[in-house]
Amino acid sequence: MALSRTIRMIVIQTILWILLPFFSIYKFLMFFYRYFSTEDIKGKVVLITGASSGIGEHLTYEYAKRGACLVIVARRENLLKEVAENARKLGSPDVVPICADVLKVDDCKRFVEETVDHFGRLDHVVNNAGIVSMCLIEDAADITNLQPVTDVNFWGSVYPTYFAIPHLKRSKGSILVNASSAAVLSPPGLSIYSASKAALVSFYETMRVELASEISITIATLGPVESEITKGKHMTKHGTTEFDSELVNVFIDADRLPAMSSPDCAKAIVDSVCRKERYVTVPKWCKVLFLLKILCPELIEWASYQHCLKIKSWGAKATPVPPRSQSKSD
């Protein structure tokens, strides 16, 4: 039994080594094919969630520059209207702002239906809405306070995708999901956020198989990018949303990991979607960390542990020590 198992393994490894050069040639040719066969999205209909600021706002502008018709979705109606006006000035022939919450399944169904009712079609869905929590899991005041992070990041993408699939099948359309490099690297202090993004990657890799040849899916695994998050917006351990630039610098280590500009990030993402690429990772240096994670996971884990010690040290300094009560004998 052991001998036959060994023989099978040797045969499999031999076949893989024989096929590897042909696979490398195939990947090389596909790279050039996709590079020179970019989809023209002028006049096509693009639905973008989380479009009122940050990456979502600049994805809106990038699609607008290419002449796409847009439906932009967010909760902050005043900001959404400003983004819509800017997109029109940049070249979008029609922009429809819709105030909605991706946490509400009925809202997601509504804005997909309104898109198709208005334009008669749907070509791209950009699942961008998301939030981040920053705290060590042991410091969470109540673990259930962090549930909105998983709900927004995961279900806030799954709901619109579910309702958009029939329309995207008809147009042979595309889906973009904004995941994160945290899904791969698992940095300390971002455990719930990382888990929600890892769930997104797993879900859309499965969808890529289920919807093969009908809908193209691009997964964005982004590193630090200029947005409200890098400016300090986060969900606290108490479940409230606040801005704290110092905390973000500690948890994301912004001093050593400079953020990419949102316009550059948006351009790289839309380029990848139009080339039907499976993944897009920016900043580019994140790919080096991904490779190290595969080849030397202990090194990434050691670096993460050192960063965790830094977070704990900062937390100890930031938390005031209550004064010792004096007894009557004192």
What does the buried/exposed string (b/e) look like for 175-196 if buried means 16 or more CB atoms within 10 Å of the residue's CB? bbbbbbbbbbbbbbbbbbbbbb
Sequential DSSP letters for 200-225: HHHHHHHHHHHTTTT-EEEEE---SB
With beta carbons less than 8 A apart as the criterion, state whether 247 and 232 touch.
Answer: yes
Task: Show Cβ contacts of residue 330 under 8 Å, excluding neighbours closer than 6 positions.
Answer: none
Q: State the catalytic residue, choosing from 63, 159, 193, 204.
A: 193
- Distance, in Å, from the CA atom of 280 to the CA atom of 260, rounded to the nearest integer, reads 14
- Distance, in Å, from the CA atom of 191 to the CA atom of 308, rounded to the nearest integer, reads 12
- And the tokens for 253? 């280590």
Where does residue 47 rank: exposed (0-12), middle (13-18), buried (19+ CB within 10 A)?
buried
- Distance, in Å, from the CA atom of 174 to the CA atom of 214, rounded to the nearest integer, reads 9
What does each C-alpha distance from 318 to 146, 147, 187, 238, 315 come to in angstroms? Answer: 21, 25, 21, 16, 5
Q: Is 35 a catalytic residue?
A: no
Q: What letter would DSSP give residue 188?
A: T
Catalytic positions, please?
Answer: 193
